[in-house]
Structure 1
Amino acid sequence: MTVSQAKKAISDKLSHFFGVDTKTATDAQYYKAVALIVRDRLSQMNSDFRQEAKGQDSKEIYYLCMEFLMGRSLKNNLYNLDLTDTFKKALESFDVSLDKLYEKEPDAGLGNGGLGRLAACYLDGLATNGFQSMGYSIRYEAGIFKQKLVDGWQTELPDFWLPGGDVWLVPRDERSVEVKFEGWVDESWDGDFHHVDYRDCNTVTAVPYDMYVSGKGKGVSRLRLWASRKPELDMGLFNSGSYVKAMEQSAMAEAISKVLYPADNTPEGKSLRLRQQYFLVSASIQDIIQRHLTRYGTLDNLPDKVAIHINDTHPTMAIPELMRIMLDECGYDWDTAWSLVTRTVAYTNHTVMKEALECWSEDLYKRLLPRIYSITKEIDNRFRAYVWGATGDADKVERMAIVSGGVVRMANLCVAGSHSVNGVSALHSEILKDTVFNDFYTITPEKFTNVTNGIAFRRWICQSNPKLTSFITELIGDGFITKSDELLKLREFKDDKQVLDRLAAIKLANKEKFADIVKKRNGIELDPTSIFDVQVKRLHEYKRQQLNVLNIIAEYQMLKANPNMEFQPRTYIFASKAAPGYFMAKKIIELIDALSKVVNNDPDIKGRIKVVFMEDYNVSLAEKLMPAADISEQISLAGTEASGTGNMKLMLNGAVTLGTLDGANVEIHDAVGDDNIFIFGLKTPEVMQLQKKGYNPMEYMYNNDVLKSAVEFIQAGVNGKSFGEISSSLMNVDQYMALADFADYQKAQQLSAKAYQDKEKFARMSLMNISGAGIFSADRSIMDYANNIWHTQPVKFKEETPKASKKSAPMQAEAKKPAKKSAAKKAEPKKETAKKQTKKPAKKSK
């Protein structure tokens, strides 16, 4: 697309959709006009891509996840399509700033933390690598929530992102499906045919909206988001005078897609969460099956043509839902259906803590989902028989059971019903085999593998840190943008003083830019020459923000006692959201806020310590913060963090990790070596040994005066507020051993301060981290999944007409070429209604 074509397209969209011309249009209208142009282009590319894929042996990848933390789409898509400069120039001719248009787009409120951001990065990786793929989730109207601190206490406000965000969504009403809840199930047999009828059930309509996701290349991913609607008002109820009940049914249906992760500390909250999960999987699996039958007319080849991936346990019911469709609607016998399902579905686990594995009350599961419950019970019965036959161990049978003690164990169902189970870091995958799923591993070791998480490099360095990207391109060319391992070439410059000075200057410029944001948002002046020490992640006790707080208090008390001592200035930056029902997490946020008011306003400190809590952390804020970080705090207790992805984004932007040997920190350590990371704390075997022996936090407190004083500071109240719950928990329970790791953590902090004072050394450490980050690309992760789990290959694109070859200078960056339209004929629109499949003789499935 040329600049003149872009100008005409913008003018046409403004006139057609908004009835305005280029002189009277607002920035918001310009933003939507450009978004519509990009969306149309992606739609065309998607058609071309699907046409190209026809006849190739490349599976359809379906990725089910409760959340996709997409962030903003305009900047990402323009970059991936090589259209940023084109639209920048076109808009400048109308006296409009593209950067201002970026700010008009809300962050899509479809995710919460690392799980959702990982899923979003994988859509980018799937498109870039050329896989046919579709993500499935829910179109949450009010997102996770907007975070507002009111006198330090987290308050949740609705995040209405659709005004401004829905421009990226293409409604597909013709693909709507029905999802049934509650009621009664009548089963009967007609010869060999099994019939299932539903009575008095509550039916909800799932309406799909498609979001196109670009990659760096010709591939396009789709994210299909389901909105819940009540099919129609029950006029029988209404006319009989039950007005409230009739309206209640409609409201309950639409509540399903209102909010991501409603608080589940009430029976109503639990019920809504379970409804959301089944709504997602039922709509998605029905859609997948319809699409497959339209193309092939049979499900016999499902495992050969399709990979269904369950990201964490939220979409677990995809397994019994697939069984339901095969048994009840397609006439398969149980054994054949189970074989097809287990060869199609794979599962990624995201927690190493057994207590965090999702379980549902059997009574609730049975009441809300009667047919799914009966299938789950049958899976459980057959799986119990299998385990007994393999082991003869009754205790093991009970531990591995899917339904036991009045509880449905979703993780056990995932492992039983999947052909592959993977962790998301090398350490995590070993812990799964050794502890969490050890019983399963001893019987089916071949199921278990590892795929370390990855991030979308195009977003997390190219778009977030353009100065660093340009400098890297000067040094090694731009091949690293799609071949991330080329970053290793940077190590040739690790002793080049000019290169290190430039790196330090770029970091300082990014810090100055972020300091301006903090001044505007928080009213706090930051010193850009201080260490920017960053801990940004979901607030949870295992991530140990409380350990960070204890160290800040200790440093504060040290400076109060010795105001004139030499001290490396340090700015502690926090950003996180707590789950609405997680009281202790909210108290820790309140403590950070209270501590910031004490420290930042104490004249004795002279600005040498600053504490900042950034409200309402989201992808757009992360894109500004990651390039400004010097220290990446990854301080979870060893053996509790599955992987982490924030650690990878910070590393890629040159921050040096200060952390435990937990999650992907282990692989970061391997990639950069001992000299370029600050490792502290207990290792996983030591943690387990201490837990077994019996951990007493008071022993650590009374043997360390600095620690004792810090805990007592919290106990006495901070800035006029009481935090007895936190101090009591630390002294008496301290489940995540913050006190045990405190002394070692302080040493690591001191080492990092000393390293930072040697500017050349710290710049070298930064370069070593950037150069070692290539292994954490989402492109690499996706190829690992494709090769080892999905067993498929990318779509091969037809070669363009070759041009006369020219010998390129070594290390020279390839010139960027404008995106070309595919020569392939546009795919004809498909009618995606399912063909009626011939019934197979069915064996009794009971």
Structure 2
Amino acid sequence: MFENKDTFKATFLDRLVSMHGKEVQETTPSDQYQTLGCMVREFISSSWVNTTDFYEENESKQVYYLSMEFLLGKQLKNNLLSLGVYSICKEGLMELGIDMEQLEGKEPDAGLGNGGLGRLAADFMDSLASLNMPGHGCGIRYKYGLFEQKIMDGYQIEVPDYWLKEGNVWEIRKSDQAFEVRFGGEVHMREANGDLFFEHINYEPVIAVPYDMPMVGYHNETVNTLRLWSAESIMKDFELSELSNHNYHKIVEYKRRTEEISEFLYPDDSTEEGRVLRLKQQYFLVSASLQSIVSRYKKVHQDLKEFSNKIAIHTNDTHPVLAIPELMRILMDEEGFSWKDAWEITSNTISYTNHTILSEALETWPIELFRTLLPRIYMIVEEINERFCRDLWKKFPSNWDKISDLAIIADNQIRMAHLAVVGSHYVNGVSKLHSNILKNQLMKDFASIMPNKFTNKTNGISHRRWLLVANSCLAGTITEAIGSSWINNPTALQNLTNFSNDRGFQEDIAKVKAYNKQNLANWIYKDSGVVVDPSSIFDVHIKRMHAYKRQLLNVFHIIDLYRRIKADPNLVITPRTFIFGGKAAPSYHLAKDIVKLINTVADIVNQDKTIRDQIKVVFIKNYGVSDAERIIPATDVSEQISTASKEASGTGNMKFMMNGALTIGTHDGANIEIAEAAGFENLFLFGLKPEEVLRYYAEGNYIVREVYNQDPRLIYILDQFINGPLSKEKADFKSIYYSLLNHDEYFVLKDFSSYVETQNKVAHAYVNQEEWLKKSIINIANSGYFSSDRTIKEYGEEIWKIKPMR
């Protein structure tokens, strides 16, 4: 890209003047960021075009990863490191009096995701490109993303997150590759020469305009594509008619309905309008993506019968599962295939990842809503169901209950997870435990009749992003010890095991952690005014706010610890800083109450001078990827305490492990595999086992009041919500109080005693820094398995059947 820093400086200065018409000393950091970003994107463009052409010339099989979320984070540093020019650019800018970190701070976090689902998709994009594998992403270009989280008087307030207000330097609009997506209307069927033809009329059209972003491989000149769709209105005959009749308001309404499709991630589905919008988003994504994929395929290949041999389409959770009937529609209605041939192509093309066993996330749609909005797609889903049920009848004659349990359409609902299983050639879970639960519990009947369809692909994270980008100090220390081969071969991190008892290396690791903790402490003070002690244990719980992730369990421990300190003024504990971050869905009132509870407890604890700053509580507002990159390298203790069996995998646990934090966690998701890799003695596991939780659910014999009445600590804590200080903070925590005592669906009270006991072990272990650092190094050494490179290789070889293309 640039031969040296002098070449870079000359090019940068020329470009800065031409773009902004100012001398360098007059430009703002935003001007400078835009200039550098444009330079990098333009340099990438030649490799981007070459990669696309290379795939087409070699007729490579390509995978398209469909996801409602791509939580990318900032791209500037990542792209410069991948291109191998970060140091040149940083040094050149420094000589011009420009701070690279200030420029990096001007890039907004792309509002394209919320949690682990979206970050997984982003890490997969990184690994696909870095492994030279022909794989691309398809998503929605949300104008506002989820929302920006404000905290006012402890409460979460949602405001639009207009991350695109200054544009997105990495995207290129491709209006010439737009496609029409149809909603509503009627479908007319006619027969000719023994064939059925379907005509969709009186529909409401939406134009899907693609914005492409480059996904840059590490030091290899491979650049794949993330295609994001934006919804726009189209002037049709009916609009021109309305204009002539001066019915401007109808046009405005239509434009508004159209544009809201790509405005917000996960619109509130507590209303009928919200549910309609969610279904619109999902079909908009898959219809635009499938039309684009088929169109591109036809430019290179003659025969659509070979489609599944050249194209793999992966649906990331149930949101994009409408890809199944949409591909059927395209093949039958537009390409003239028979049902049999279209089904064979479709089912051999599409694969599906299940990310949860939570019923709320296993989407269902009311038939009437679905049929009204997507009439042709409903006809196809109905036919898929009819044919599937006929096959079931042959296997289970007269067993209506079994057929009803497995049917795609039942009880006036369309079950998207069932459609996904029936229409995909592979279904995978994302950890060994989760995949076993799918096969033996949640989808047991499907697995019994389709045993070869189910497989496991344990999640992974981009070790380049979470070490090279997020924790360059640790990455440099690792490279000094074992060389740089781990960057392309993350399993080489295993060589760090040889240094786990090396006092010199332990001290190096300790210095890196202390540096990162001081930086985080400085940022927390600047952001919130809270002073935290960098020498204290940084105990971190950063996740989407949800009852099953059990932020409540963590808060209960804090309240109990605070009670102990207040009860004994002479008590000395290992100082602890508890750090939370995460957003609650706008309509999820219990989760929003938990946000308020955390902030209320923080106010009480942080303002109490009598506890001598032994504990502090911090809530990071508007938590996102950039915050994670700052927090994770500074973490000592990683909270992975979801209810056993509920967290399919988790990827935060892997990021913390890779950065040397020790896990306190349940026997859930990938926690178990992390413990198997690093050794159970190098984690702190506690609580109910998955089989115990599932047994309680099946038998219904968990008596909450017995647990509550037998533990004075729980009585004290819950009493605070009704009669204690917490009830006097102008907050109503009765929803939390009654949700626990009446049901305790996620076993917060049941696991409390075990959690507190394990937290005490954590505090004692931290005192012995030599042993703690040994455990930390062993965790880092064994984190290479959890690289998304390994995960993507497994997907590529076993599900997608794609190969690296150099």
| Contact persistence 1:177–1:205 (CA under 8 A) | yes
CA shift, 1:660, in A, is 0.4
> How far off is 1:161 after superposition?
0.9
Q: Secondary structure at the match of 1:209?
A: strand
- Aligned mate of 2:782, from 762, 772, 775: 772
Equivalent residue, structure 1, for 2:709: 702
Alignment partner of 1:459 is 2:465: yes
Give the AA of the match of 2:207.
T
- Identity among equivalent positions (%) equals 43
Deviations 1:545-582 (A, max 9, x none): 01111111111111111121121111110000001110
Aligned mates of 1:65, 1:409 — CA distance in 2: 18
* 1:631-650 matches, cutoff 5 A: 631-650=637-656
- Which residue matches 1:333? 338
Residue 244 of structure 1: CA displacement?
A: 1.8
Query: Once the 2 structures are TM-superposed, how far is the Cα of residue 409 of structure 1 from its aligned partner?
Result: 0.5
Aligned to 2:185: 183
Is it true that 1:548 corresponds to 2:551 in the alignment? no
Which of 306, 309, 312 is equivalent to 1:307? Answer: 312
The CA deviation at 1:156 is 0.7
State the shift of 1:241 in Å: 4.1
2:368 corresponding residue in structure 1: 363
SS in 1 for 2:391: helix
Structure 2 match to 1:817? none
Partners in 2 of 1:627 and 1:150 — Cα distance?
28
Residue 753 of structure 2: aligned partner: 743
Counterpart in the other structure of 2:583: 577
Aligned to 1:712: 719
**Is 1:94 paired with 2:99?**
no
Residue 484 of structure 2, aligned match among 478, 481, 489: 478
2:494 aligns with one of 488, 496, 503: 488
- Determine which of 171, 176, 195 is the counterpart of 1:174: 176
Distance 1:5 1:452 in 2: 44
In structure 2, C-alpha distance between the alignment counterparts of 1:784 and 1:556, rounded to whole Å: 47
TM-score between the two structures when normalised by the length of structure 1: 0.93
Offset of residue 355 of structure 1: 4.1
State yes or no: 1:665 paired with 2:683. no
State the AA in 1 paired with 2:231. S
Please report how far the alpha carbon of residue 650 of structure 1 lies from its aligned counterpart in structure 2 after TM superposition: 0.6
Q: 1:52 aligns with which of 45, 51, 54?
A: 54
Which segment is superposed worse, 130-139 or 440-449? 130-139
Q: Match of 1:148, SS?
A: strand
Residue 738 (structure 2) aligns with: 728
8 Å CA contact retained: 2:643, 2:747? yes
Of the three residues 259, 262, 269, the one matched with 1:264 is 269
Aligned residues: 796
SS of the aligned residue for 1:168 comes to coil
Q: Is residue 2:617 matched to residue 1:611?
A: yes
Cα distance in structure 2, aligned partners of 1:36 and 1:641: 40
Which piece of structure 1 moves more, 201-210 or 390-399? 390-399
CA contact (8 A) 1:23 1:94 kept: no
2:395 aligns with 390
Stretches of structure 2 lacking an aligned partner (at least 5 in a row): none
Q: Which residue of 2 aligns with 1:218?
A: 221
Q: CA deviation at 1:615?
A: 0.1
Cα distance in structure 2, aligned partners of 1:57 and 1:424:
30
Q: 2:234 aligns with which of 231, 235, 252?
A: 231
Answer yes or no: is 1:754 the counterpart of 2:764.
yes
Cα distance in 2 between the residues matched to 1:521 and 1:21: 33
**More relative contact order, 1 or 2 (CA 8 Å, 6+ apart):** 1
Q: Deviations over 1:652-675 (max 9, x none)?
A: 100000000101001011011121
Whether contact under 8 Å (1:494, 1:500) holds in the other structure is yes
Q: Which amino acid aligns with 2:188?
A: D
2:229 maps to a residue whose letter is W
- How much is the aligned-residue C-alpha RMSD, in angstroms? 1.3
SS of the residue corresponding to residue 256 of structure 1 reads: helix
Deviation at 1:714, TM superposition (A): 2.4
SS in 2 for 1:685: helix
Report if the CA contact (8 A) 2:598-2:619 is conserved: yes
Contact 2:111–2:142, Cα closer than 8 Å, also in 1: yes
Given that 1:107 and 1:165 are in contact with CA atoms closer than 8 Å, whether structure 2 keeps it comes out as no
Q: 1:249 aligned to 2:259?
A: no
Where 2:262 maps in the other structure, the secondary structure is coil
Q: Specify every segment of 5 or more residues in structure 1 that has no aligned partner in the other structure, as ranges.
A: 798-846
Worse-superposed segment, 97-106 or 195-204: 195-204
Change (3 A) 1:108 1:630: same
Q: Is the 8 A contact 1:354 1:436 kept in 2?
A: no
Q: CA deviation at 1:688?
A: 1.7
Partner Cα distance (1:95, 1:516) in 2: 24
Q: Give the superposition deviation at 1:501.
A: 1.7
- Taking the aligned partners of 1:530 and 1:780, their CA distance within structure 2 comes to 35
In 1, the alpha carbon distance for the partners of 2:313 and 2:426 equals: 11
Report the residue type matching 1:91 in the other structure.
L
Check the 8 A contact 1:433/1:448 in 2, yes or no. Answer: yes
Cα distance in 1 between the residues matched to 2:396 and 2:103: 63
Q: Does 1:439 align with 2:442?
A: no
Query: CA, structure 1 residues 15+189, in 2 after alignment: closer, same or farther (shift >3 Å)?
Result: farther
Task: Judge which range, 312-321 or 87-96, deviates more.
Answer: 87-96
- CA distance in 2: counterparts of 1:302 and 1:9, whole angstroms: 45
1:247/1:720 Cα in 2 relative to 1: closer, same or farther (>3 Å)? closer
CA–CA separation in structure 2 for the residues paired with 1:522 and 1:25: 30
Q: Which moved more, 1:81-90 or 1:779-788?
A: 81-90
Question: Which whole-Å deviations, capped at 9, do the CAs of 1:73-102 have from their partners, x for residues lacking one?
Answer: 101100111110111122223221111100
Question: Do structure 1's residue 425 and structure 2's residue 431 form an aligned pair?
Answer: yes
How many Å apart are 1:55 and its aligned residue? Answer: 4.8
1:407 aligned onto 2:409: no
Contact 2:62 2:802 in 1 (8 A): no
Bigger drift between 145-154 and 11-20 goes to 11-20
Aligned residue number for residue 503 of structure 2: 497
Contact 2:56 2:300 (8 Å CA) reproduced: no
Contact 1:65 1:119 in 2 (8 A): yes
Question: Displacement of 1:680 after TM fit?
Answer: 0.2
Cα distance per residue 1:219-256 (max 9 Å; x no partner): 22211011101112713123334332221011100110
Q: Take 1:355 and 1:117, find their aligned partners in 2: how far apart are those partners?
A: 21
Would you say the 8 A contact 2:141–2:262 is kept in 1? yes
